[in-house]
Copies of this chain bind each other. A is one copy, B any other.
Amino acid sequence: MRQGLNLTESEAGKTAVSEQKTLQDGLAELEALPGGPRAALEAVLMVIDQPATSEELAAGLNVTVAVVEDLLQDLQREYSGYTVKAPDVDAVGFADASTAPRGFELRNVAGGWRIYSRSDFADIVGRFVLEGQTTRLTQAALETLAVIAYRQPVSRARVSAIRGVNVDSVVRTLTQRGLIEDSGNDPESGAVLYRTTSYFLERMGIGSVAELPQLSPHLPGLEGIDEYYDASRM
């Protein structure tokens, strides 16, 4: 998806032409899908966690940056309740559901685009978020945190294998609570690796993970444990 860097000028020119063609094909391809390029862009924006730049979005959709930026602006306006450029609906006084603002907005933060809940609803959303929240970690969350602390950096799949259960939602909770964080990707599998944060150290009252108590007194014969889990991975 990313372009190579060391092109001679003429090569770059050729590439630009053929790329142009591909990008137009890309747009035609999107037009064929229900909802067209706009819906395709929405689909991406709706599920990405990290803001994406218009260049990244253009590359993913296989269209030009200019096309993506037009679409982004249309979506942004539409979500905010302005009538979309639609020549056949420019009669004034048209204020039905389609022009009411949505509950979400498309924002460009720090150069990247992402969908957020609309700030008008912050109170309601905040109330919903707080409902059912507890101030203590569940046993499952604590155990997962313990595994990550002693095996970091570690992927979710690995933690799952060790704990014998799926840990996806628990990892999300721990991330949300600021106790663990993304520490890059595993060079082999590409899986996200997790490590504990400085907030975790703070809560534990220690200066670094090296200060975590040794495991050995608690569990004799853990030396071979890594092989054990690797063996049980299929």
Q: Which residues of A contact B (CB under 8 A)?
A: 1, 30, 33-36, 38-50, 52, 56-57, 59-62, 78, 81, 84, 86, 88-89, 96-98, 100-104, 115-118, 120-121, 124-125, 127-132, 160-161, 164-166, 168-169, 172-173, 175-179, 181, 190, 192, 197, 199, 232, 234
Shortest Cβ distance from residue A136 to the other chain B in the assembled complex, whole angstroms: 13
Copies of this subunit: 2
Given A97-B78, A165-B178, A178-B166, A103-B50 contact (CB < 8 Å) = no
In the complex with contacts A103-B43, A166-B177, A177-B166, A48-B81 CB distance below 8 A: no
Distance in angstroms from A207 CB to nearest chain B CB is: 19
B173 and A234 contacting across the interface, CB-CB below 8 Å: yes
| 27 A-B contact pairs sorted by A residue (CB < 8 Å) | A33-B120, A34-B118, A35-B102, A39-B101, A42-B117, A43-B104, A43-B118, A43-B124, A44-B103, A46-B104, A46-B125, A47-B104, A47-B125, A49-B131, A49-B172, A50-B169, A56-B128, A56-B132, A59-B131, A60-B127, A61-B124, A62-B124, A62-B127, A89-B96, A165-B176, A166-B175, A166-B197
